């Protein structure tokens, strides 16, 4: 199954693959070159297709758990001051997505969406210290029963140049359902209560909609 954000790109890529290979067959006499072109374009198409895959996840909805919003590796767990919405110190959990990860962003917890905003910005590599505040990004805040206001942020990187955010203010977020997509990258930050006892560690690999990041006390 492919994500809806990939349909146009996949169709365009497939058309491009067909055109390139038809032209190579018509214009090139050496079969080994034609075969090489076919294999190269096929590999490129497969890489693009796997990027937009959207495997079914068995989400166990639980208002006492905060789930990982994306697939990837936990690269940071640190106390920071969050100035955009909560204006207080929070525990930031950062999850980095490689080009091989599923890039669907899911709501980590259910509740009313209080705030959503897109910020144009730069394209530092995702692990750059300034990427959370200076890169292109979107911020979403969900009001929850057990954790207060939970903020999460999609962040573009050096490769990712297109963030899609489905969250709308005053709508209800459903835990585990799609909240957006980051095309070809990159990172998502969760901002949790500062006294949280996180269920993951640095370098842990997590799955969006399945891995538990935090349990209510």
CB 205 within 8 A of CB 70: no
Residue 154: closest CA among 115, 127, 186: 186
Catalytic residue among 186, 196, 199, 201: 186
Over range 189-205, report the average pLDDT: 94
Residue 186 is among the residues annotated as catalytic for this protein: yes
Helix (H) or strand (E) holding 24: helix 7-27
Residue 133 has pLDDT above 70, yes or no: no
In the chain, pLDDT over 90 holds for what percent of residues? 50
Q: How many CB atoms lie within 10 A of CB 5?
A: 18
Please report which confidence band the pLDDT of residue 128 belongs to, taking 50, 70 and 90 as the band edges.
Answer: low
Residue 159 has pLDDT above 70, yes or no: no
DSSP 53: B
Over range 149-166, report the average pLDDT: 81
**Secondary structure (3-state) at 17:** helix
pLDDT at position 44 is 84
Q: Calculate the alpha carbon distances from 59 to 42, 94, 168, 190, 209 in Å.
A: 33, 21, 22, 18, 5
Q: How far apart are CA 70 and CA 32, in angstroms?
A: 42
Residue 129 has pLDDT above 80, yes or no: no
Q: How far apart are CA 217 and CA 215, in angstroms?
A: 6
What would the two tokens of residue 178 be?
A: 């799609």
pLDDT at position 181 is 85
Greater confidence, 62 or 217? 62
**Mean pLDDT across the chain:** 86
pLDDT at position 53 is 77
């Amino acid at each position: 199954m492919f994500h809806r954000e990939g349909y146009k790109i996949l169709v365009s890529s497939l058309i491009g693959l067909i055109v390139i290979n038809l032209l190579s067959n018509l214009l090139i006499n050496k079969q080994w070159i034609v075969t090489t072109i076919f294999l190269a374009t096929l590999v490129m198409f497969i890489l693009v297709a796997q990027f937009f895959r959207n495997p079914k996840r068995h989400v166990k909805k639980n208002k006492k758990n905060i789930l990982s919003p994306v697939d990837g590796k936990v690269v940071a767990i640190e106390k920071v001051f969050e100035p955009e919405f909560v204006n207080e110190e929070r525990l930031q959990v950062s999850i980095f997505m490689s080009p091989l990860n599923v890039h669907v962003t899911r709501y980590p917890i259910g509740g009313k969406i209080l705030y959503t905003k897109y910020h144009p910005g730069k394209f530092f590599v995702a692990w750059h210290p300034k990427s959370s505040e200076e890169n292109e990004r979107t911020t979403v805040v969900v009001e929850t029963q057990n954790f207060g206001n939970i903020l999460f942020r999609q962040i573009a990187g050096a490769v990712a140049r297109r963030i899609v955010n489905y969250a709308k203010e005053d709508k209800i977020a459903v835990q585990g359902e799609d909240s957006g997509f980051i095309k070809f990258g990159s990172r998502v930050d969760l901002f949790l209560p500062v006294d949280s006892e996180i269920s993951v560690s640095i370098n842990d690999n997590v799955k969006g909609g399945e891995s538990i990041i935090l349990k209510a006390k």
